[in-house]
Chains A and B, each alone.
Chain A
Amino acid sequence: MPAALPLLSIEDLSIDLDVFRGRARVVDRVSLEVEEAQVVGLVGESGSGKSMTAMAVMRLLPRAASIAGGHIRLDGRDVLSMSEADMRRLRGREVAMIFQTSLLVLNPLLRVGDQIARVFRTHAGLDQRSARVKAVEMLDRVGIRHPERVSHSYPHELSGGMIQRALIALMTAARPRLLIADEPTTGLDVTTEVQIFDLLREIRRETRAAILLITHDLGTVAENADRVAIMHAGHIVESGPTRAIFKQPRHPYTRALLSSIPRFDGSQPLESTLRGQAPDVFSLQGDGCRFAGRCPQVMDVCRQHRPPLVQLVDGHSVFCHLYADGL
């Protein structure tokens, strides 16, 4: 689709967090695009702002957080200026989110099948009986055995993998065009994790839904994403096609992250260039690079000025002073 608008475009999004300790910019001028049927991985350590960014797209930010600038466009519509009523229609039908803590998302007092049926009643206007039938179909489609029986179960009666599957059934029931998956397999076993990713891949093939995959795990990103954006302390430091990020990482943080994965074949020594912690966003001063304190290649300019955006080939871009004069 040349020149077509991306399905999701985030431009210079900034989010402030106001808490007892003070105010901090937890997401700082973040830009990101997701095209139709594309899987984009958003990677960062805990506290890097990746979930905040996702919550802003859903317009589900916690009360202490506020948008300090930027735009979010979903299919050309300005998400941040929409009324709450319009937004509610958008959620589920256009964009849906799968959370890590899926047990908390499902209502513990309602049977799983009834919760999925409600989506069909709300978004497709079906009556209770045919909505129930559709719900069982959905459970079957996400690979749950004995879907009829499971549809009568309460969430606590299901295993972690089944819950996550039921949730995917619930969230994709209205065939959203964008699915935000926030650490969808954290806490699940690896053999269940591959099943969940198989399922997401299948759903994407069937519905052409785009997926924004939020994770700290570079392995799942390498296997599932078309493009990757790396976040550190509220900044996107590098983004590009998955292969470029893994084969030619440019930002020192991306390189350090990659070096800190213990290699499976034991080929690498147990050492990493990644040191220390991400900076405390509440005590940041000035507009310097937020990775400067941990960077093995830090220069004086890094602490003073915001790193420039450097465009490389194939939509690979990096924010880093090292490349200010080109590669």
Chain B
Amino acid sequence: MDSEALLQVRDLGKQFVLRAPLMRRFAGSAPIALAAVDRVSFDVRPGEAVGIVGESGCGKSTLAKCLVKLLEPTSGSIRFGSTDVHELRGAELKRFREQVQIVFQDPVGSLDPRWRVRQIVAEPLRIHGVDAKGALYRQLVDLIELVGLRADQLNRLPSELSGGEQQRVAIARALATRPRLLILDEPTSALDASTRIHILALLAELRRTLRMTYVLISHDLSVIRALCDRVLVMYMGRIVEVGPTAAVFDLPLHPYTEALLAAIPVPDPDVQKQPVRLRGDLTWVPPAGCSLAPRCPMAAPACADRPQQLVAWDERRLVACHRISEREIQPVPIVLNRAAATTAEAGR
């Protein structure tokens, strides 16, 4: 086991059972199990910022909720430090919640509209025990200034703040317990472009000054590029590519990553892009073979037969593509399991 990892996810799976519509149930339709997250493994080391990128329905938010124990996975394990997250109960769970916090996409929905900012930010402090009243106020001021707001804004209601300020409040609340790991689920997606860059700058700054560890979930590759050391690309519940952010962006290995990168609009009329297009739309029922095969521009007939597996492409990168071996560089064919992951991670 890699003792260095702060967070260790192994073969994580989360299934949702979709019941057939009432009439069809009478006709004998069985419930369908949908794997939102399917055999996902990765490590996060202390101080690292790991990005998880993928499009809607790829399972990234389900994964985030499993990481903070808002959802219980159906299979696999999550270890935080030396504890198994699945086993946590009572006081230990409370301690875990202190150390792992989450910031959601929608600041309006995650802040109580009738609470003042000071109540919102004080709640985690109250739950996790801060003694004297004076100390509490001092901490609130520190927190609110840390995220770039002013002390007088502590008495505001969320509705009296702009979207960017609301998201700053949500970040302050998440930081209140001095967590070691911060999960950021689409932290800038609900914001205007002009606000987004200021929040990104704040997150970068906080990570530097507080030496935080981030798991950042986003569909927006430029956000991942700006903040993360490493990136995991998800498609239909599976990780299809892992690698250092700069390397993945410079040379995407998986056709899905390539299509994602090619799809980002570039605000420069002089840039000519390589048009890489996926075909058609996402389906809900995963195909038998590689999950991307029906849409993949590079798919060969064999791709539809076998599911793809993550293999090491070099010591820092993993990719799940049947056709990767047709590239010049020979990959080392190992399946990412507990042992292999350690080997792959150790080379980093």
Contacts and interface: CB of A to CB of B under 8 A. Distances in A.
Interface of A: 45-46, 143, 145, 159-162, 189-195, 198, 216-223, 242-243, 246-247, 256-258, 260-266, 270-272, 274, 277
B219 to A, nearest CB: 7
Nearest to B202: A270
Contacts of B259: 191
Interface stretch (B132-140, B220-228, B308-316): B220-228
Given A194-B275, A222-B265, 18 more contacts: A45-B192, A45-B194, A189-B55, A190-B219, A190-B264, A193-B265, A216-B192, A216-B193, A219-B264, A220-B265, A223-B265, A243-B270, A246-B269, A260-B197, A262-B223, A265-B249, A270-B201, A274-B197
A258 B194 CA distance: 9
B280 interface: yes
A194 B260 CA distance: 10
Interface of B: 55-56, 162, 192-194, 196-198, 200-201, 204, 219, 221-223, 225-226, 246, 249, 259-260, 262-271, 275, 277-278, 280-282
Given A191-B259, A262-B222, A277-B162, A257 B194 contact: yes
B193 A261 contact: yes
Contacts of B201: 270-271
Contacts, number: 113
Contacts of A258: 267
Contacts of B200: 262, 270
A256 B266 contact: no
Contacts of B56: 160, 189
Contact of A159 (B197, B277, B282): B282
A194 B277 CA distance: 8
Contacts of A160: 56
Nearest to A226: B269
B262 to A, nearest CB: 7
Contacts of B264: 190, 219, 264
20 contacts: A143-B280, A190-B219, A190-B221, A191-B259, A192-B55, A193-B263, A217-B193, A257-B193, A260-B193, A262-B197, A262-B200, A262-B223, A264-B221, A264-B249, A265-B225, A270-B200, A270-B226, A272-B198, A274-B194, A274-B197
B265 A262 contact: no
Contacts of A195: 277-278
Contact of B263 (A143, A191, A221, A274): A191
A271 B200 CA distance: 9
A222 B267 contact: yes
A260 to B, nearest CB: 5
Contact of A262 (B225, B271, B275): B225
B289 to A, nearest CB: 19
B197 A46 contact: no
A46 B164 CA distance: 14
A191 B249 contact: no
B1 to A, nearest CB: 33
B131 to A, nearest CB: 37
A258 B200 CA distance: 16
B41 to A, nearest CB: 25
B265 A242 contact: no
Given A161-B281, A191-B278, A264 B225 contact: yes
Contacts of A194: 262-263, 275, 277
Given A190-B260, A263-B222, A266-B226, A222 B196 contact: no
B263 A266 contact: no
A194 B55 CA distance: 13
Contacts of A193: 263, 265
Contacts of A277: 162
B254 to A, nearest CB: 13
Nearest to A266: B225
Contact of A219 (B204, B219, B226, B267): B267
| A-B pairs, 8 with minimum CB distance | A219-B265, A189-B55, A190-B263, A270-B201, A274-B194, A262-B222, A218-B267, A272-B197
Contact of A198 (B222, B260, B277, B282): B277
Given A46-B192, A198-B277, A216-B192, A261 B55 contact: no
A198 B276 CA distance: 12
A195 B269 CA distance: 19
Contacts of A222: 265-269, 271
A49 to B, nearest CB: 15
B107 to A, nearest CB: 15
A219 B266 contact: yes
Given A191-B260, A191-B278, A277-B162, A262 B226 contact: yes
B98 to A, nearest CB: 29
Contacts of B281: 159, 161-162, 192
A246 B266 CA distance: 11
A78 B265 CA distance: 36
Contact of B269 (A190, A243, A262): A243
Nearest to B284: A159
A162 B281 CA distance: 7
A308 B79 CA distance: 63
Contacts of A264: 221-222, 225, 249, 264, 266
Contacts of A217: 193, 265
A14 B265 CA distance: 32
A170 B201 CA distance: 43
Contact of A190 (B55, B193, B271): B55
A246 B162 contact: no
Nearest to B280: A145
A78 to B, nearest CB: 34
Nearest to A245: B269
Contacts of A216: 192-193
Contacts of B260: 190-191
Contacts of B225: 262, 264-266
Contacts of A46: 192
